[in-house]
Amino acid sequence: MKFISCVPKFKQIKRTAMSKLSLLTSGIIKNNPTFVLVLGMCPTLATTTSAINGFGMGVATLFVLTMSNIVISLVATQVPDKVRIPVYIVVIAAFVTILQLLMQAFTPGLYATLGIFIPLIVVNCIVLGRAEAYASKNNVTDSAMDGIGSGIGFTLSLTVIGLVREILGSASIFGIKFMDSDGILAFVLAPGAFIVLGYLMVLFNKLKSKIS
Amino acid sequence: MAKESSLKNMVSTLFIVCLVSSTLLGGVYAITKAPIEAAAIAKINSSISLVVPAFDNDPSAEAFTKEYKGNNYKIYPAKKGGEMVGYAVETFSTNGFGGKIVIMVGFNTDGTIFNTSVLSHSETPGLGDKMVEGKSNFSVQFKGKNPADFKMAVKKDGGDVDAITASTITSRAFCGAVESACEVYKLCAQIQTNKENSNE
C-alpha cells in the first residue's frame, strides 16, 4: 500500500526535475540571448576578438545574471511597482562592482583584457531583461536556473563567435597559432564581428528549426 | 505580486536597497584592497625586472617622480650592491589608436635602452597589440639603441623605427612614449653627473 502511494510522487519529482532541466536548456537553445533574443550586442561585438575573451566575458555575465536573478526573485514581492527598475539596477550594479573588484584582486591577467568591458554588464539588456521578464515573477530556484541557463547560452555563443573570429582573423585557436600567418584582419575588427554574428545567427536558427 | 506604490514605501525601499548594496560593496572593497595593490605592485616589479639589468634593491621603494613637459613620470632606480645599474622609466602616450598606452622603458647607465615592456594599452587585438613583446619583433628593435644616434620615429616620419604593418598610429604613439622616456632619463642622468661633479 505504502509502496504504491510512492509511485505518483516519484513521477512528480521526475517531472519537476525535467522542467528544471528545460529551464536550463531554454536559455541555451530556445531563448539563446545572443542568437535568438539578440540581446546584449554591445559586449558581444566588442569582446569576442578571441575565444578566451568571449569565454571570460560570458562567465562574468553568467555570475552577475545568476546572482541578480536570485536576489531579485527574493525581493520582487517587497518592491513597489514604480521603483522596481531602479532597485534592479542597483542590485545588478552592486554585483558587477563586486565582480570587478574580485577580478582585479585575484585574476589581474583576465582583468587586464576584460576590465573595460566589465562595467558594461550593468547595462547589458540580458541581465535586466531576465530580471524583469523572469526573476520578478518566479521563485528563487527557477530564477537561479534561468540565470544559469541564459548565462551558459551567452557564454557558449560568445565563445563560438570569438573562436570563429580568432581562427579567421588571427589564425589561432585559444591563443595557439596553427598557421604562420596573420589571418584576415577584418575579422578582428568591428566589421568582422558583425559578419560572423550574422552568419552564425542564420546557422543557429536554421539548426534550431530543424530540431524542433 | 508587486506592491502598490506610495511615496513612503518607494523611498524606504530604495533607501534600504542602496544601504544594503553600499555596505556590501564597502565590505568587498575592504577585503580586496590589499590584494589589488599587491597585484599592481607585482606587475610593476615584474616589468621593471624585464627592462633593466639584474638588480638587488627594491626599485619600487626608491621610486621618484620627475616632471617633463607638464607631466609627471615615475622613475625606478635599479641598483646592484649599491652601484647604479640602470633606470626604469614609466612613460606613456595618449596618442594610441585605442587611447592611453603605458610603457616601462629601461636604460643602462650609459643611456642605451635595455628593454621595453608594455604595462597597459587598449590597442586593437591582432593589429596594435603587436607592440607587446612576443607578439611581433616591433619592440625588439629598441633594445640596445642609444637615443643619441637612433631617431625615435617611424620610417614614414623620417625616423629609424620600422612601424608595425597597418598600425602606424600605434607605432607612432609607442615611439613618442619611448622618446619622452629618453628625455626624462636625460634629466635624471644630468642630476646624477651634477652630483658626482659636486662630490669631487
The pLDDT tens digits for A9-62 are: 666 666 677 777 888 888 888 888 888 888 888 888 888 888 888 898 899 899
Residue of B1, B13, B31, B97 to mutate, testing the A interface (most A Cβ within 10 Å of its Cβ): B13
Residue A146: which region, alpha, beta or left (left: phi > 0; alpha: psi -120 to 50)? Answer: alpha
Containing H/E element for B96?
A: strand B83-96
Q: Are B96 and B118 in contact (CB under 8 A)?
A: no
Chain B residues with beta carbon closer than 8 angstroms to that of A75: 17
Read off the pLDDT band of A1 (50, 70, 90).
very low
Instruction: Kindly calculate the radius of gyration of chain B based on its CA atoms and give it in whole angstroms.
Output: 23
- Most B CBs within 10 A among A53, A68, A90, hence the mutation to make, goes to A90
Residue A189 burial (10 A CB sphere; 0-12, 13-18, 19+)? middle
Mean pLDDT taken over chain B: 83
Q: What pLDDT does residue A15 have?
A: 67
CB spacing of B35 vs A112 below 8 angstroms: no
pLDDT score, position A151? 93
| Chain B CA closest to residue A182 | B126
Which phi and psi angles does A176 have, rounded to 5°? -105, 120
CA atoms within 13 A on the CB side of B24: 17
A123-146: average pLDDT: 88
Segment among A109-123, B2-16, B80-94 with least mean pLDDT:
A109-123
Is B124 a residue whose pLDDT tops 80? Answer: no
Determine the pLDDT at residue B142: 85
A188-210 tens-digit pLDDT? 888 999 999 999 999 999 998 88
Residue A133 touches partner B, C-beta closer than 8 Å: no
| Measured distance CA(B105)–CA(B119) in Å, rounded | 10
What phi, psi does B153 have (nearest 5°)?
Answer: -155, 155
Q: Which of B24, B36, B124 sits opposite A188 (nearest CB)?
A: B124
Quote the cell numbers at residue A63: 555570475
Confidence band, pLDDT 50/70/90 cuts, at residue A143: very high
Cβ–Cβ gap A101/B29 under 8 Å: yes
Among the listed residues B116, B63, B114, B66, the one whose alpha carbon sits nearest the alpha carbon of residue B86:
B114
Please answer yes or no on whether A170 and B17 come within 8 Å at the CB atom.
no
Task: Kindly compute the dihedral angle of the four CA atoms of residues B121, B126, B128, B133, in this order, to the nearest 10 degrees.
Answer: 70
Q: What angle do the packed helices A51-75 and A84-106 form, to 10 degrees?
A: 140
Nearest CA in chain A to B130: A182
Q: State the pLDDT at residue A65.
A: 92
Q: Give Cα separations from B81 to B54, B55, B58, B78, B111 (angstroms).
A: 11, 8, 12, 10, 20
| Inter-chain residue contact B5 with A82, CB threshold 8 Å | yes
Rounded to whole angstroms, how far apart are CA atoms A163 and A183?
13
The region that residue B80 occupies, defined by phi over 0 for left and psi between -120 and 50 for alpha, beta otherwise, is beta
What pLDDT was estimated at residue A68?
92
Mutate to test the interface with A, among B5, B21, B33, B136 (most CBs of A within 10 A): B21
CA–CA distance, A187 with A202 (Å, rounded to integer): 18
Q: Which of B14, B25, B122 is the closest to A94 by Cβ?
A: B25
- Rounded Cα distance, B121 and B137, in Å: 18
- Residues on chain B touching A76 (C-beta within 8 angstroms): 2
pLDDT at A155 (0 to 100): 94
Q: A90, A81, A75: which is closest to A127 by C-alpha?
A: A90
Q: pLDDT at position B44, please?
A: 85
CB contact B41 to A (< 8 Å): no
φ/ψ region of A171 (left if φ > 0, alpha if ψ in -120 to 50, else beta) reads: left
What residues of chain A lie within 8 A of the CB of B122, using their CB? 116
What is the pLDDT at residue B15? 93
Tell me if chain A has a CB within 8 Å of the CB of B127: yes
Partner-chain contact A86 B14, CB within 8 Å: yes
Taking the C-alpha atoms of residue B177 and residue B94, their distance in angstroms, rounded to an integer, is 9
* Single-letter amino acid, residue A190: A
List chain B residues with CB under 8 Å of A168. none
- The arithmetic mean of pLDDT across residues B29-40, rounded, is 90
The beta-carbon neighbor of A188 closest among B2, B10, B126 is B126
Dihedral sign, Cα of residue B129, residue B135, residue B136, residue B141: positive
pLDDT above 90 (res B197): no
Question: Which letter does DSSP use for residue A136 in this model?
Answer: T
Is A183 at the interface with chain B, CB within 8 A?
yes
Coil, strand or helix: which one is B64?
strand
The domain spans of chain B are: 50-199
What is residue A91's predicted lDDT score, i.e. its pLDDT?
92
CA distances from B89 to B47, B67, B132, B179 (A): 11, 12, 17, 11
Three-class SS state of A84: helix
